[in-house]
Structure 1
Amino acid sequence: MTDPTPRRRGGRRRAELEPPPAGSAAQDREPDAEEVARTIALRQLTAAPRSRAQLEVAMARRDVPEDVAGRVLDRFTEVGLVDDGAYAEMLVRTRHAERGLARRALAEELRRKGIAPDVAAGALEQVDDADEEAAALALVRKKARSTRGLDAQVRRRRMAALLGRKGFPAGVAMRAVETVLAEEE
């Protein structure tokens, strides 16, 4: 005997596809957009500090409405979980100390992370000319050890290129290279 109920592809009845009238599946609703936004922000912040712009991008990827993301981020800023100024200062401090980046490279990284220009300028004040000169000398001294035995011009070029990649101005780079090469003689 055949069942008169119309069947869909795969043999399921249309009535079976609808949520049941009772039980946990009947109560399962779409999560609240604000709850989703909070969860995304908290997970991102648990992994590592983030700027407000980075959190906005993460929420946009998950289709959180802009107004909801704005409300959640405003609240997180209010309670101190999101602080672009502190984030920028921490990023400048660590990137300069650990990687030897110059102010120009640091400014570019802050821009990529969505930090406002005025906030970035305040954070970059931590690194002065003397700090940049010292970082350039340290990087060139390290590079000099690994290039011993090479032609002097090749060494100069490699040391200057290293400092260029780290964002140092040409004048600072050449002074550091000449200082280190003079120390070796």
Structure 2
Amino acid sequence: MSEEARREPDAARLAAARRALDQATQGASAATDRPSSRSAPSPDPTAEMEGYARARQIVLRQLAMGPRSRQQLADKLSNRGVEREVIDRVLDRMVQVGLVDDEAFAATLVRSKHHGTGMAPRALRHELRKKGVSEEIAERAVGTVDADDQRARAEQLVAERLPRLHGLDREVQTRRLAGVLARKGYSSGLSLSVIRDALDRAPEHVRD
């Protein structure tokens, strides 16, 4: 599937979310125009709505650049000086309309990082933690990568790198390939098993 085709569902979801958020903002604005029987002073509704609209636009711009976790968006809003109450309101609404979904975000990250760059579960967990995804959601997402998936991807990584090491001593090849897999988060046991099998099959190491 082309990159353009993969982006179409995200574009449609973003457009739908924008409409839902616009409706919610209009409803909230209408509510602030109603007369109140309270005698106590209340916050300026215009300033409040402007703050909400500004926060919403920040979030939408972030999402237009790519998927984000709720925590990433909250951090961005906080760094831009948005008040905690406004952050919660905006992100709660984003969750309601389906634009912010940590489950979907984690699943997408695991698929892209595992199949695309070859990250193993250990590295995937670390990546999700950095992005503020909860341990529970992270474990469910990483759990979709089974042992067969891991070995197959490790074998691909070794097969891609091995030709560049042709002619080197077997021990040197082993050490460099192990470094490649370690940086992707693969365990030493799995790495050495995959590397040994690959080197045993390599023409330069096959004994007559």
TM-score, reference length from structure 2: 0.74
Residue segments in structure 1 that go unaligned for 5+ positions in a row: 1-28
Read off the aligned partner of 1:106 and give its amino acid letter.
L
Query: 1: CA distance between counterparts of 2:108 and 2:63?
Result: 14
CA distance in 2, matches of 1:170, 1:113: 26
In 2, distance between residues paired with 1:48 and 1:139? 26
1:81 to 99, 106, 111: 99
**Structure 2 partner of 1:109:** 127
Distance 2:50 2:71 in 1: 22
For 2:57, the equivalent position in structure 1 comes to 39
Deviations 1:59-115 (A, max 9, x none): 011100011001100000000000000000000001000100000000000000000
User: Shift of residue 149 of structure 1?
Assistant: 1.0
5+ residue gaps, structure 2: 1-46
- The 2-side partners of 1:31 and 1:121 are apart by 38
Which has the larger share of helix? 2
Matches within 5 A, 1:144-163: 144-163=162-181
Identity %: 42
1:141 CA displacement? 1.1
Other-structure match for 2:24: none
SS across alignment from 1:58:
helix
Report the CA distance between 1:30 and its aligned residue. 9.6
Asked which structure has the greater CA Rg, the reply is: 1
What is the alpha-carbon distance in structure 2 between the residues aligned to residue 183 and residue 131 of structure 1? 21
**Counterpart position of 1:52:** 70
Shift of 1:31: 7.6
RMSD (Å), alpha carbons: 1.3
Describe the superposition over 1:36-61 as per-residue Cα deviations: whole angstroms up to 9, x where unpaired.
11011000001101000010111011
Find the residue that maps to 1:32 and give its secondary structure.
Answer: helix
Code of the aligned partner of 1:150: L
Q: Which amino acid aligns with 1:34?
A: Y
Within the candidate set 168, 180, 185, 1:167 is matched to 185
Structure 2 Cα separation of the partners of residues 79 and 65 of structure 1: 22
TM-score by length of 1: 0.83
Query: Aligned residue for 2:159?
Result: 141
Superposition misfits of 4+ residues, deviation over 6 angstroms: none
Aligned residues: 157
